[in-house]
Structure 1
Amino acid sequence: MQVMQKCERAVGRFASRVSWKSVTATFFCFVLSLYLLFALINDRYIHHHAWYERPAPCVTPQIIMDGMVELTFSVTRLLSKLNISHVICYGTLWGALRQGKILPWDNNVDFCLLKNEIEKVPYSTLQAEFKSQQIDLTYDHRHGDYIATRGPAQAIISVFYITIYDEVFKDGLEHRLMWFFQDKPVSFPARLIESPFNTAMFHGQQIPVPHDGIEILKYLYKDDWWLEKPPIGCRSPN
């Protein structure tokens, strides 16, 4: 009992000497340290390797490829119907510019648009419109992406926000919180994805593309934008 009483008195004296400001500052430093550690691990080890540096099938099964083509045009029709300006981007744009179709090894289709464009339409309306075409639409808060899925086919709608310097950055909690710690945050001039757009031939139809052709790819793939990069162990059809 005496030991317990001594411990209680010691804890009481310590608590009386520690102010709430000190506790708050210590807690803040602890959280900040965890954040910095996570940012370092995330940037150096999780997102350091591009998708094409990871193992993947050399050729996407035809049933999935057909579904991706149909989904691409369904998404662009829906976004156009809702007056949401958008373009194809990332690997989908590379496929359109080089081959006029989806790259043989690609496993989804990519769109890019501005945050102020898609926010013109309530999320519930977006979901209802996509659902009317048998497309499930969800929002990934972490990465700032809308995910459109129909059967085995998937489309990633990447959202970007404009800064006061007319530059865009990737939206999403992870990108907004960690851009300062990333070696190469995704950003490019806003004009590249501001409407009106030109179009390119894609699987026999015209589809909106960013301004200046491949210019946006120089920002999205900064180190090797000029290369066609199939997955590891796969040969380019060219």
Structure 2
Amino acid sequence: MIMKCTVMSVRRRCRSWSRQRGLIFLLLVVFGMVMTTRFLMENDKEVEEQPPCTVSKEQRRELYPLLSAVSTLLSRLSITHFLCFDSLWGAIQESGPLPWDAHAHFCALNEKVSVHDEAELLRAFRRRGLTLEYSSAEGQYTIRNSSAEVSNFEAPTVRVVLFEEDARVHMLRRVGWRRRLLPPDCDAHPTLQCFPPNLAAVPLPLRPFGPLTLPAPREDIDLLKFHYPETWWRPLQPHC
């Protein structure tokens, strides 16, 4: 009888300890879930409070002189150029660069650029303290300030994207060997980034862009319709 009570007591203690362990485990799981939820909520709040992209005042101060120098030099070389892509968006929405954009875009007519040989262009930009790099695949020049000091932020650039008229479709299309392989079907190949030549007809209007006044296409919204056919009607969102 004593042995039976002892066994029963042990069983009761085992069941009690099992229940306690289960309760402790459940409490630990609940505590972990609560702490995880709080951490995620606080982290989301921090993300919401921080801007998706930041452009420092130093970057802005370097962008404007660079942009002015590039536009002045292109004008002296009689190269038709105008604000486009994100910079055109910025000119319309902000009268300057988009808050998250540290760089700038011009579009230019390749027929005006091709009048000058590459060495002449390099010398012209070098005399202004600028470096000029050309991507034959993208049909795009990237221009930097060669005297920019080393700093903790990305140095601004001006990208000049080249377009030329395709007589088969009577549209301006982007140059570069990646696109030359495509047939001249602007609707079937959006990467050609086509738009009508009349939007780039001189004289071009001028638009405020921060402290500067820069050339813009004749119908800025029309150009955005061609380059952003699915989103042109709403403000451009950050993509960085």
Q: TM-score, structure 2 length as denominator?
A: 0.69
Inter-partner Cα distance in structure 2 for 1:63 and 1:155: 16
Selected match of 2:69 from 66, 71, 74? 74
Name the % identity. 26
Give structure 1 regions of 4+ aligned residues with deviation exceeding 4 angstroms: 179-183
1:199 and 2:206 are equivalent in the alignment: yes
Inter-partner Cα distance in structure 2 for 1:203 and 1:180: 37
Q: Secondary structure at the match of 2:220?
A: coil
Inter-partner Cα distance in structure 2 for 1:66 and 1:220: 28
Q: Secondary structure at the match of 1:104?
A: coil
Check the 8 A contact 2:89/2:236 in 1, yes or no: no
1:159 corresponds to: 162
Selected match of 1:135 from 130, 138, 161? 130
1:27 corresponds to: none
Inter-partner Cα distance in structure 2 for 1:105 and 1:190: 30
Inter-partner Cα distance in structure 2 for 1:161 and 1:87: 14
Inter-partner Cα distance in structure 1 for 2:86 and 2:97: 8
Distance 1:62 1:230, change over 3 A: farther
Residue identity in the other structure for 1:153:
P
Selected match of 1:222 from 202, 226, 229? 229
1:3 corresponds to: none
Per-residue Cα deviation, 1:210-235 (whole angstroms, up to 9, x for no partner):
01122101111111012223325x9x
Inter-partner Cα distance in structure 2 for 1:137 and 1:214: 30
Selected match of 1:121 from 116, 119, 129? 116
Distance 1:177 1:103, change over 3 A: same
Inter-partner Cα distance in structure 1 for 2:136 and 2:216: 25
1:84 corresponds to: 79
1:60 and 2:55 are equivalent in the alignment: yes
Inter-partner Cα distance in structure 1 for 2:183 and 2:109: 18
Return the offset for 1:128: 0.9
Return the offset for 1:113: 1.1
CA RMSD in angstroms, aligned pairs only: 2.0
Inter-partner Cα distance in structure 1 for 2:229 and 2:128: 36
Selected match of 1:190 from 178, 190, 197? 197
Check the 8 A contact 1:200/1:207 in 2, yes or no: yes
Inter-partner Cα distance in structure 2 for 1:193 and 1:221: 17
Give unpaired runs (5+ residues) of structure 2: 1-50, 149-154
Larger Rg: 2
Give unpaired runs (5+ residues) of structure 1: 1-55
Residue identity in the other structure for 2:204:
F
